[in-house]
Amino acid sequence: MYLTLTNCPTCNGILRELILHSGLHYSRSEYAECERFIRWGRSPSSLARQQVLEHKISSLAVRTSLTAWEASFIASVSLQLEQKKNLSPKQTEWLEKIYKKYS
């Protein structure tokens, strides 16, 4: 991934992450000199929640006892996370239900 580049190819400024205190995003990464936007960042707590979801999904994905519906649900949310898309509240709720059922 080219996001691991640490200096701006144009101005050679370093990549910095600014923590935002309002608005939709937790942080904004940009080059220090030219302020060229690189990406929005997520908060540590949001990333932690995401990891818990990923853990639950991957532990369910290897189970052979899922119903056909559950298996296809898990496959689809797993693909969604791979594509960096957030789960809907409804999907999260279903995931929790299925996880509880098998734990």
7 vs 72, which CB is nearer to Zn ion? 7
11 vs 52, which CB is nearer to Zn ion? 11
Q: Which residues bind Zn ion (CB under 5 A)?
A: 8, 10-11, 13, 31, 34, 36
Question: Measured from the CB of residue 89, what is the shortest distance to Zn ion in angstroms?
Answer: 39
| 94: number of Cβ within 10 Å | 17
11 vs 18, which CB is nearer to Zn ion? 11
- Nearest in space to 80 (alpha carbons), one of 94, 67, 68: 94
Question: Measured from the CB of residue 9, what is the shortest distance to Zn ion in angstroms?
Answer: 7
- Token digits of residue 7: 């200096």
11 vs 61, which CB is nearer to Zn ion? 11
Question: Measured from the CB of residue 24, what is the shortest distance to Zn ion in angstroms?
Answer: 24
- Nearest in space to 80 (alpha carbons), one of 92, 69, 68: 92
Question: Measured from the CB of residue 31, what is the shortest distance to Zn ion in angstroms?
Answer: 4
DSSP SS3 for 97:
helix
- Nearest in space to 95 (alpha carbons), one of 62, 58, 47: 58
